[in-house]
Amino acid sequence: MSMLKTALGGAMLAGLLSSAVFAQAVNDQYGFGTKVDPAELSGFFSIPPDGRGLPPGSGTGTAGAKVFAENCAACHGDKLEGNPAKGIGGDKLIGGRGSLATKTPVKTVESYWPYATTLFDYVKRAMPFSAPGSLKNDEVYAVVAYILSEAKIIKPTDTVNAETLPKIAMPNKDGFIPDSRPELQLYH
């Protein structure tokens, strides 16, 4: 899953960047089109497992509890248990360790996701559902730290930032088989 997302994200970013370069060349040569400001491209990103591209900022689980309560609990529940019964459909975020090979797998951040950086990337781009991308970097780091601390992966007082996040060992980090197709190396 994450390998495919990384490959697709890389391809999309390459397409956007080459489009920007092409647009600039057309503008320079023919005098039409618009120049692309790097700030315009800053919203297009994909954070790989090694954390390249993580923005500045930091947060702790303790700080994240408040951000989660204000922005996430309505969909994901006060205790990160999800809210499918209320029709909101927010997924359960923690629990389910060891359940993936059973007849009733529970896919959560804790049981399924192999990289903590993927959690940051997803929250930064897609959450909260009602206002995707509206959280500041410190708020995203704090929410990520809160989810990871509630899953007992880190302590609530641990600081999560661009340096520490890629080093967090997720419970399912060895649950995926690397894709050995050589063409995927083009995206790294």
pLDDT in tens, 97-119: 999 889 999 999 999 999 999 99
The Cα–Cα gap between 136 and 42 comes to: 14
pLDDT in tens, 136-161: 999 999 999 999 999 999 999 999 99
pTM for this structure?
Answer: 0.74
pLDDT class for 179, splitting at 50, 70, 90? confident
Separation CA 30–CA 55 (nearest Å):
36
The Cα 14–Cα 187 span in angstroms is 9
Distance CA 1, CA 4 (A): 5
What's the confidence (pLDDT) of residue 118? 94
What is the CB neighbour count within 10 angstroms for residue 31?
Answer: 7
Environment class of 86 (CB within 10 Å of its CB; exposed 0-12, middle 13-18, buried 19+): exposed
Q: How confident is the model at residue 24 (pLDDT cuts 50, 70, 90)?
A: low
pLDDT above 70 (res 19): no
CATH number of 49-175: 1.10.760.10
pLDDT of residue 83: 84
CA 103 to chain centre: 28
Q: What is the pLDDT of residue 12?
A: 56
